[in-house]
Amino acid sequence: MVERTVRVGSSHGLHARPAKLFTQAAAGSGSSVTIAKAGGAPVNAASILAVIAQGIDHGDEVTVVVDGGDEQRVLDELVELLSTDHDE
Amino acid sequence: MEFRGTGIGQGVAVGPVVRMAERLPEPVDRPSHLDPAREEERARASVSVVADDLQRKGAQAGGAAQDVLEAQAMMAEDPTLMDDVVKRLADGKTAERAVYEAFAAFRDLLSSMGGYMGERAADLDDVSQRVVAHLLKVPAPGVPNPGHPFVLVARDLAPADTALLDLTQVLGLVTIDGGPTSHTAILAREKSIVAIVGAADASALADGDTVIVDAENDLVVQSPDADAVAAAKERIAERAARAAAPITPGALADGTAVPLLANLGSADGAAGAVELGAEGVGLFRTEFLFLDADRAPSVSEQQEQYTRLLSAFPGRKVVVRVLDAGADKPLAFLNDAEEENPALGLRGIRALRHAEVILREQLTALATADAATDADLWVMAPMIATVDETRYFTDLCRELGLKTAGVMVETPSAALIADRVLGVADFASIGTNDLTQYTMAADRLLGTVANLQDPWAPAVLRLVAEVGAAGGRLGKPVGICGEAAADPLLAVVLVGLGASTLSMSPSALADVRASLARYTREDAERIARAALAAEGAAEAKQAAKQAAESAPTPTGTTVP
C-alpha cells in the first residue's frame, strides 16, 4: 500500500471533466484506490459520484492511497493527473 | 389526418415522426416479488446497457459533449451508487424503485452543494430516467437520437431539451402543448426550426408516421399522399431560394421604406444579424447583464457591453430597452417582495422607478457608450401605463444626455392614450407579446390559455391601430418589436395599421422582407382593414389571407 498527499491543480477543482479523467484512470488501474480530502474520510476513487460529492476545490490537499497491482506506477500517474490543470 | 396548431414562421418540413418520450412517473414503492439477488441482476444489466449507450453517443458526438456523456456513463455504473442500490434491494424494494431512490439521494446531495456540483444534478437525473426506463422496457425520455433526420413530436420541450436539439437532424418540431409565445416557440423562431406548437391532437402521431409540417398554414398532415409530399418539397426548395436572394432594405412594393430591425438579447448576436440584413436593432434586451447577478453590474461593466453592441451598427439605429425585470424574470436586488400576480406587479418602469439608482446607472452607461460610438442610440422604457411614467422616463433620459427617449406599448392603457403618450415620448415600440397577454388577460406562459395568446386577435390589432394613428398624426415613429412582426402576413397588417419599422428575430428577416415586397401601402391598409373587421384571431388571419390573395401582383416582382 502506497500513499501521497498532493494539491489539486485544476482551476475548477475536482468536478466535471477533471473528476471524470481521475476516476476513469482510477477505475482502469487494476488497483484499489481511495482519495480523501484533508480531514475527511477516504472514498472509492473509482466512484465519480463519491469523488464529486467530496467537493474538492482548486488548491485543496488530497491524499491518494493505492493498494494492490502496480502500486507505485498507478500512484505516480494519479498524482500527475491531480496536479495538472485540466480546465485551461 | 390533419392536425391544427400554431405555425411558427413560414417553413415547411417533411419527414418521419419520432416522439419524445415523456418524463417517467416516480416508480411505485411496493415490495418486489423477486428476490434481492435477481433484482440486483436486473439493475446491473440495465446500468450496463445505459452506460454503453452513453459511451457510444459520446464517441459519436465528440468534443465537450463527449466528456459530459462519458461522465454520465460513469455515473450509471458508479460503484458507490450500486452499493446504495443493493442496500435498498435488501429491504425488498424493486430494482426500479431502488435505482430511482439511490440516484435521487445523490442528486439531492449534489444540488445542495450548488455551483458545479449542482449542475451535475441534472445530468444525474437524466441517467436515472434512462436506467429506470430500461428496467421498465419503455423508451428513455429526452430528445431522441434515431440516427436519421426526423420530425420531433413532443408534449412540450424543456429549455434543456431544446439546447440539445441537433439541428442537422431535426427537420421540424410539433408540440402538443404550448402557445405561440411559449419558450419553445421563441426558440424555434430564433433557430429557424419549422414548428407547429399547441397541436393538441398531434398526440395521435406515432413513431415512423410520415408528416408534413406546414407552419405557414398552421397544419400537420399525417401520412400525406405522394402529390402532397412533392408539393411540400417544392415549397421547401422555393423558400431556400428566397433565403439565398440578395438582401435589400425592407420596403413595400411601391417603394415605401419599412426598415427591418433585429431583436437581440446580447451583443454576441450583432454580427449574425447584420449578415441576415438587419438594418439596425429594434429591441436590445438588457436583462442578460443583470440575470444571475445578486447586484446590478457596474456602470463600466455595462458601458463595455453597450459599446460593443453600438460599434456593430455604425450610422444605424439601435433601440435599447432599459432593464425589464419582474414577472417571469425577477431579480433579487430589484423585486424582493412576493407578489401574487407578478405580471401585474412591480415590473418594468415601475420597478426601476422604485430603485432609481439602477436606472440612472444604466442610462449613464448608455449615454457614455453612445458618445463613444457612431450608432444612432434610442432608449425606451418597458411596461409604461401612464403619461406620468412616460414623462418621468423621458425627463431622466434628457437629464442624462440621451437624445431619443421612447416607450414600449405593452399595456392596453398606453395604447388607448397613445396620442398623449406620444405627445411626450419621441417614439413608441409595440411589444406584441405582452400587449396580447394584457389585452386578452391570458398568461403568456400558460399552455391552457394559449389559444387566447394570439396577436391576430382583432382587439390587439385595434390597439396597434390606435398607436399607429397617433404616431401618424404626431409624426412620431411607431415600431413593432414583438414576435408578431416575424409573421410575414401579420407584418403586412401591422404596416397597414401604421407601424413604420418592424423588429424581429434575425432568422425571420428574409421571409418578412419577401412578403412586404409583394404589397403596396394601399394593399397593406386594405389587408389590415379586413383583419380588423374580423370576429376573432383565426378569422382575422383568414380575412387577411383572402385580402392578400386579391392584391394585384406588382410588376417586376416575382411571386415566390
Is the domain of B169 the same as that of B229?
A: yes
The pLDDT > 90 percentage for chain B reads 62
More confident residue, B180 or B100: B100
- Residue B72 C-alpha, separation from nearest chain A C-alpha, in angstroms: 9
B75 at the A interface (CB within 8 A)?
yes
**How far apart are alpha carbons B14 and B84 in whole angstroms?**
47
How many whole angstroms separate alpha carbon A22 and alpha carbon B311? 45
Q: How confident is the model at residue B507 (pLDDT cuts 50, 70, 90)?
A: confident
Q: Is A79 on the interface with B (CB under 8 A)?
A: no
Residues in Cβ contact with B249 at an 8 Å cutoff, skipping those fewer than 6 apart: B257, B259, B260, B279
Q: Which amino acid is located at B287 in the chain?
A: E
- Domain residues for B179? 2-20+148-242
Question: Please, are residues B408 and B430 in contact by the beta-carbon 8 Å criterion?
Answer: yes
- Asked if residue A8 is part of any domain, the answer here is yes
* A88: in domain: no
B513 is in an annotated binding site: no
* Number of domains making up chain A: 1
Buried b / exposed e over B240-258, threshold 16 CB at 10 Å, is: eebeeeeeeebebbeeeeb
Contacts of B113 in chain A (CB under 8 A): 53, 55
Q: Smallest Cα–Cα separation from B342: which of B356, B359, B329, B353?
A: B329
> Is residue B373 pLDDT above 60, yes or no?
yes
The larger pLDDT score, comparing residue B14 to residue B558, is at: B14
Please report the pLDDT score of residue B559 as a whole number. 43
Q: Pick the residue from chain B with its C-alpha nearest to A51.
A: B80
Contact between B80 and A24 using a beta-carbon 8 Å cutoff? no
On whether any CB of chain B is under 8 Å from the CB of A23, the answer is yes
Compute the distance between CA of residue B300 and CA of residue B368 in angstroms, rounded to an integer: 9
Residues B16 and B41 in one domain: no
Same domain, B123 and B159: no
* B456, B504 contact by CB (below 8 A): no
Amino acid at B263: N
Length reported for chain A? 88
Residues B185 and B318 in one domain: no
Q: Which of A61-65, A84-88, B357-361 has the lowest mean pLDDT?
A: A84-88
Kindly state whether residue A73 falls inside one of the protein's structural domains.
Answer: yes
B76 touches chain A (CB under 8 A): no
Nearest-10 crossing angle of helices B432-440, B458-474: 130
In terms of CA atoms, which chain A residue is nearest residue B67? Answer: A17
The pLDDT confidence band at residue B554, using thresholds 50, 70 and 90, is low
Please say if the pLDDT value at position B560 is more than 50.
no
Q: Convert the pLDDT of each residue in A21-63 to its tens digit.
A: 999 999 999 899 999 998 889 999 999 999 988 888 888 899 9
Domain co-membership, B438 together with B410: yes
Intra-chain end-to-end CA distance of chain A, in Å:
33
Between B242 and B409, name the one with better pLDDT: B409
- Same domain? For B191 and B108 the reply is no
* Position B10, amino acid: Q
Q: Which residues of B are catalytic?
A: 183, 481
User: Which of A29-43, B244-258, B337-351, B472-486 is least confident?
Assistant: B337-351
In sequence order, what are the beta bridge partners of B321?
B285, B380
* pLDDT at B186 (0 to 100): 72
- Whether residues B314 and B436 fall in one domain: yes
- Assigned domain for B519 exists: yes
Residues B361 and B413 in one domain: yes
**Same domain assignment for residues B443 and B306:** yes
> Is B116 inside a domain boundary?
yes
A16 vs B106: CB contact, 8 Å cut-off?
A: no
SS3 assignment for B484-509: HHHCHHHHHHHHHCCCCEEEECHHHH
CA–CA dist B214, B199 (Å, integer): 12
Structural domain that includes position A65: 2-83
Confirm whether residue B287 is marked as ligand binding: no
Q: Answer yes or no: do B70 and A19 touch at CB < 8 A.
A: no
Q: Is the per-residue pLDDT at A81 higher than 80?
A: yes
Q: Give the pLDDT band of residue B460 (cuts 50, 70, 90).
A: very high
- Cβ atoms within 10 A of the Cβ of B236, count? 16
Q: Are B502 and B523 in contact (CB under 8 A)?
A: no
Helices B79-90 + B36-61 axis angle, to 10: 150
Q: How confident is the model at residue B556 (pLDDT cuts 50, 70, 90)?
A: very low
Q: Is B116 within 8 Å of chain A by CB?
A: yes
Residue A49 to residue B67, Cβ atoms within 8 A: no
pLDDT at B327 over 80: no
**B382 lies in the same domain as B405:** yes
Q: Please, are residues B71 and A20 in contact by the beta-carbon 8 Å criterion?
A: yes
Sign of CA dihedral A20, A23, A27, A28: positive
Which of B136, B162, B193 is a domain's end point? B136
Average pLDDT over chain A, rounded to whole? 88
Segment (H or E) for B61: helix B36-61
B63 and A CB contact within 8 Å? no
Block residue for cell numbers 425627463: B395
In a domain, B48, yes or no: yes
Chain A: nearest CA to B5, how far in angstroms?
41
Min Cα–Cα distance to chain B from A87, Å: 12
Query: Which of B415, B301, B271 lies closest to B368, judged by CA?
Result: B301
SS3 state at B332: coil
The answer to whether residues B455 and B537 belong to one domain is: yes
Amino acid at A83: S
**Does any domain span residue A39?**
yes
Q: Residue A13 is part of a domain; what is its CATH number?
A: 3.30.1340.10
Residues of A in contact with B104 (CB under 8 A): none
Contact A16 B80 (CB under 8 A): no
Query: For testing the chain B interface, which of A47, A54, A56 should be mutated: the one with the most B CBs within 10 Å?
Result: A47
Return the biggest CA–CA distance within chain A: 33
CA angle B225–B229–B231, rounded 5-degree value: 120
Structural contact between residues B70 and A25, judged by C-beta atoms closer than 8 angstroms: no
B433 is in an annotated binding site: yes
Total domain count, chain B: 3
pLDDT tens-digit profile of B412-448?
999 999 999 999 999 999 999 999 999 999 987 676 7
Contacts of B558 (CB under 8 A, 6+ apart): none
Contact B501, B235 (CB under 8 A): no
Give pLDDT tens digits for B362-371.
999 999 999 9
Q: What is the CATH number of the domain that holds B360?
A: 3.20.20.60
Distance from CA of B24 to the nearest CA of A (A): 23
CA of A44 to nearest chain B CA: how many angstroms apart?
8
CB B456 within 8 A of CB B531: yes
SS3 content of chain B, % helix, strand, coil (to 5): 50, 15, 35
**Cα–Cα distance measured from residue B394 to residue B10, given in angstroms and rounded to the nearest whole number:** 38
Q: Is residue B448 part of a domain?
A: yes
B230 touches chain A (CB under 8 A): no
pLDDT of residue B71: 87
Rounded-to-integer distance, Cα B507 and Cα B192, Å: 6
pLDDT at B361 over 90: yes
Choice among A12, A15, A58, A86 that is catalytic? A15
Does the annotation place B285 within a ligand binding site? yes
Distance CA B516, CA B518 (A): 5
Mark yes or no for CB contact A43/B116 under 8 Å.
no
pLDDT band at B118 (very low <50, low <70, confident <90, very high): low
Angle formed by the axes of helices B387-399 and B356-372, nearest 10°: 50
Binned at pLDDT 50, 70 and 90, residue B394 comes out as very high
For residues B332 and B339, the model is more confident at B339
What is the per-residue pLDDT across B181-233, written as a single tens digit (0 to 9) for each?
666 777 787 777 899 998 989 989 999 999 999 998 889 999 999 999 999 99
Chain B contact for A9, CB < 8 A?
Answer: no
| Chain A interface, best mutation among B69, B72, B78, B109, by max A CB count within 10 A | B78
